[in-house]
């Protein structure tokens, strides 16, 4: 028994791309996201963050991580952050450089 009926075939999901490549590149055959559709919604203000803005934030941070701190392949980047619209761009920026992400819950305590 299926839970829902799919009348059209699902799009091909490439297995040779990183998550940032899949999320931030226009891929042939993938449904096109409407430009006025927000990629993220900022919780505090309700402001929509567009694909272009997420793309810019991610690649700008990747550039800064590389130039300022020489982050690269197999480096470990620790992200200590509450839930925020810049959380995924920070993760993706490090992944673009080939870094390994370790995450710490922002409300963790030492004891």
- The secondary structure of residue 34, as a DSSP letter, is P
User: Which pLDDT value is given to residue 5?
Assistant: 66
Supply the mean pLDDT for the chain: 85
- 48-111 belongs to CATH 1.10.3720.10: no
55 HSE (CA, 13 A, CB side): 11
User: Which pLDDT value is given to residue 2?
Assistant: 56
What are the extents of the domains in the chain? Answer: 48-111
User: Which pLDDT value is given to residue 71?
Assistant: 97
Confidence (pTM): 0.78
User: Which pLDDT value is given to residue 6?
Assistant: 65
Query: Over the stretch 18-47, which tens digit does the pLDDT of each residue have?
Result: 888 878 877 666 667 787 889 899 988 999
Name the phi and psi angles at 24, rounded to 5: -110, 5
Are 23 and 17 contacting, i.e. CB atoms less than 8 angstroms apart? no
Structure tokens at 78: 């620790």
- The secondary structure of residue 31, as a DSSP letter, is P
User: Which pLDDT value is given to residue 94?
Assistant: 96
User: Which pLDDT value is given to residue 47?
Assistant: 93
User: Which pLDDT value is given to residue 48?
Assistant: 93
- The Cα 73–Cα 50 span in angstroms is 29
């Amino acid at each position: 028994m299926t839970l829902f009926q799919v009348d059209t075939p699902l799009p091909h999901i490439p297995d040779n791309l990183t998550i940032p490549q899949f999320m931030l590149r226009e891929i042939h055959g993938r449904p096109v996201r409407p430009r006025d559709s927000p990629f993220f919604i900022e919780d505090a203000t309700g402001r929509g963050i567009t694909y272009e803005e997420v793309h810019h934030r991610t690649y700008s941070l990747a550039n800064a991580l590389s130039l300022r701190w020489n982050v690269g392949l197999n480096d470990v980047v620790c992200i200590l952050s509450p839930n925020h619209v810049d959380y995924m761009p920070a993760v993706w920026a490090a992944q673009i450089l080939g870094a390994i992400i370790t995450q710490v819950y922002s409300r963790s305590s030492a004891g």
